Amino acid sequence: MAKLPTDVNRQPIPVLRPLSSENKTMTGSSVSSTAFGANTTVVRLVCDAAVNYVLGASPTATAASTYLPGNVVEYISVFPGEKVAGIGASGALNITEMN
């Protein structure tokens, strides 16, 4: 079992390892990622403009989907094989698989 690094108060710092990353250009229509790999348990999302996103086997994002403000990093628990879809007027959504 791996030992987590600690902070100055000797408290464990949770860490994740990036596995792979992809960028999706927001065009005003829902855009989906590739399916997450077998070892992916968390994804990191960040977009340089506001975006709405949804998770699922075959997701389609809408304006009613979960909102992510521009330039905000969000970590989300996912299942292997799922995808994330995003919709926004502009920007690039970066999706990084983590473990």
**How much is the pLDDT for 1?**
52
Q: Label residue 16 by pLDDT band (50, 70, 90).
A: confident
How far is residue 40 from each of residues 22, 63, 75, 79, 89, measured CA to CA in Å? Answer: 14, 26, 12, 7, 28
Work out the number of other CB atoms within 10 angstroms of the CB of residue 39.
11
pTM here is 0.86
- Residue 82's pLDDT band, with cuts at 50, 70 and 90, is very high
Average pLDDT, the chain: 93
Residue 2: the pLDDT is 60
Radius of gyration (Cα) for the chain, nearest Å? 15
Query: Does residue 64 have a pLDDT over 80?
Result: yes
* Strand duo 92-98 + 18-25: pairing: antiparallel
Q: How far is CA 47 from the centre of its chain?
A: 10
Predicted confidence at residue 86, as pLDDT, reads 98
